[in-house]
A and B are shown apart, each in its own frame.
Chain A
């Protein structure tokens, strides 16, 4: 039923993995070690601007994973994930008056994002496909409006103190330390997501994507499963919100704007069902919008629009090929 929305998922499910050209394990290990060492060494390699850009890219990668959970696994594309990011960010910002401890802010933000997603998800999970997308979009925009009306600082936003990574350590006022903290948090979240996508729960979600009537016939409450997936996705987005204020020490309703949600969804689509691909997509899109856009006289949105058009017109399976080339395997 959702074949048109998640063509690659069904492809992934049916294609035998043994038929795929194998990349020698040693190359994969070298590639991963190379990327990891560059990622860790980044603050010592590039200037402060690029470090903060890399932090933004990591936050967007987390948000892209949050969008990929419903989009890639259940075949239901969300277009309002920025709203839960903002809920998480404002929760962390409010908590910052009590404690500057990052992990506590992160946990509270994830919980708040999950609660917000669970409540608003009741609206969304009755719908499927494009209607699901429309409703998540509208809910996201309503939360955006609510943030403008009631959030601390109003539409001007609010500043937050620097986050302390662990008890006893100094606050992270330097971009480099904030980047490394965000990198560690992103890797932990990614590890949790990697475990999640290998559970029976994820298999049930993939089942909904490929043939929902059969899942219902076999006694599964598909709406509840979708709501659970959407809630977890909201929690991940909330965590991304806490990471946002770690990086920028500032949050405003503008962070709930459609552009952020759209970027997360486009990254998920570039990833074509894969979490690694979604993260790669997020990094590429942030680079296009903020870095390459800077060379074009600040026309980042135009460049992002062109990227969206490119994603829409490129055959999706080619991008899966790209993703598998980059990661050395199909996920």
Chain B
């Protein structure tokens, strides 16, 4: 394979990385702000992907409808998750079990409704073809996806790191008690973040369906990669999540192409390095009250 071949694979890696970022950014905020390690996050992606499979019909209307439905499903789903974990506040392990239970039930029901075989989702007709990039055919949808996801990443970055609402969210990440003492309604912020994170995951699923199509087990895959991105990027950090997601995307595409055997271990090594560099007490506030 020539150099341009690898460049094409690297471009796939960017698409994959940005897709993972869209999903993982929600999880990192949920974990950072609400202290909830939602095992149902991958399930939300899968819900989005199946929504796309149901509604995307090759036209713009179906695509737009899928996006709108996905946004609603995600926001409602995220709010419902917030309601589910609310009575378990301060019991992180029970929150994990509860969200895991939901992920199990949802995964089983998805299989019952949509079948056990993988489904493929075609992008809207206008984006379905491919163009020639440096002598290689490349799907237009992936390029548009990269552009769109870059916009999403930019908006999210601005929202969290620069806007006033983001400052409130970051304050709750940094020190929930102090934030509450300054008059911030931490409960509302938590619910909003769970709703927003859920919306991102489901919309990510709708947009990502042509890249990572709906199939049983996709929820776990997405959850694991999101988790690695959260751990390596630092909880609650959008910048860290973006950089790590791009790294994971390259590892999963370019890494697999260059050294198939080592790719999984590169991910483990990334986690090891991140944990070795970081002080353990960064996660102290997530361990619950002393």
Residues of A within 8 A of B (CB): 1-5, 77, 79, 120, 122-123, 126-131, 133-135, 137-139, 141-142, 145-146, 149-150, 257-259, 262, 265-266, 269, 299-302, 304-309, 311-313
Contact = CB atoms under 8 A, between A and B. Distances in A.
B230 to A, nearest CB: 8
Given A123-B275, A127-B275, A130-B35, 19 more contacts: A5-B287, A5-B288, A127-B283, A128-B280, A130-B287, A131-B283, A134-B231, A135-B231, A138-B227, A142-B224, A142-B264, A146-B265, A259-B104, A302-B104, A304-B101, A304-B104, A305-B103, A305-B106, A313-B98
Contacts of A306: 101, 105
A305 B289 contact: no
Interface in B222-247: 224, 227-228, 230-231
B268 A139 contact: yes
B69 interface: no
Nearest to A128: B287
Given A312-B94, A313-B87, A1 B290 contact: yes
Report, nearest first, the 8 A-B pairs whose CB atoms are least far apart.
A305-B104, A308-B101, A4-B288, A305-B105, A301-B108, A312-B98, A309-B101, A129-B287
Contacts of B98: 308-309, 312-313
Contacts of B90: 4
B37 to A, nearest CB: 5
B112 interface: yes
B97 interface: yes
Contacts of B101: 304-309, 312
A4 B289 contact: yes
B224 A301 contact: no
Contacts of B107: 301
B129 interface: no
A34 B100 CA distance: 36
Contacts of B106: 305
Contacts of A299: 108, 112
B259 to A, nearest CB: 12
A258 B217 CA distance: 10
Contacts of B174: none
B62 interface: no
Contact of A134 (B95, B227, B264): B227
Given A149-B261, A301-B105, A309-B98, A141 B224 contact: yes
B280 A126 contact: yes
B65 interface: no
B218 interface: no
Interface in B183-240: 220, 224, 227-228, 230-231
Contacts of A131: 231, 283, 286
Interface string B10-42: 000000000000000000000000010100000
Contacts of A259: 104
Contacts of A1: 287, 290
B272 A123 contact: yes
A128 B112 CA distance: 37
Contacts of A312: 88, 94-95, 97-98, 101
A312 B231 CA distance: 24
B72 interface: no
Interface string B101-133: 111111111001000000000000000000000
A69 B120 CA distance: 43
A220 B34 CA distance: 33
Q: B interface, by DSSP: helix, strand, loop or mixed? A: helix
A226 B290 CA distance: 19
B271 interface: yes
Contacts of A138: 224, 227-228, 231, 268, 271
Contacts of B100: 262, 305, 308
A253 to B, nearest CB: 12
Contacts of B104: 259, 262, 301-302, 304-305, 308
Contact of B283 (A122, A129, A141, A300): A129
6 contacts: A135-B271, A138-B227, A138-B228, A145-B264, A269-B97, A299-B112
Nearest to B272: A123
A133 B96 contact: yes
Contacts of B35: 130
B139 interface: no
B267 interface: yes
B181 to A, nearest CB: 21
A4 B227 CA distance: 22
B268 A123 contact: yes
Contacts of B231: 131, 134-135, 138
B180 interface: no
Nearest to A146: B264
Interface in B47-71: none
From A3, A5, A146, A301, residue with most partner B Cβ within 10 Å = A301
Nearest to A310: B101
Nearest to B101: A308
Given A139-B268, A258-B220, A308-B97, A130 B275 contact: no
B93 A77 contact: yes
B85 to A, nearest CB: 9
A1 B105 CA distance: 32
Interface in B242-290: 260-261, 264-265, 267-268, 271-272, 275-276, 280, 283, 286-290
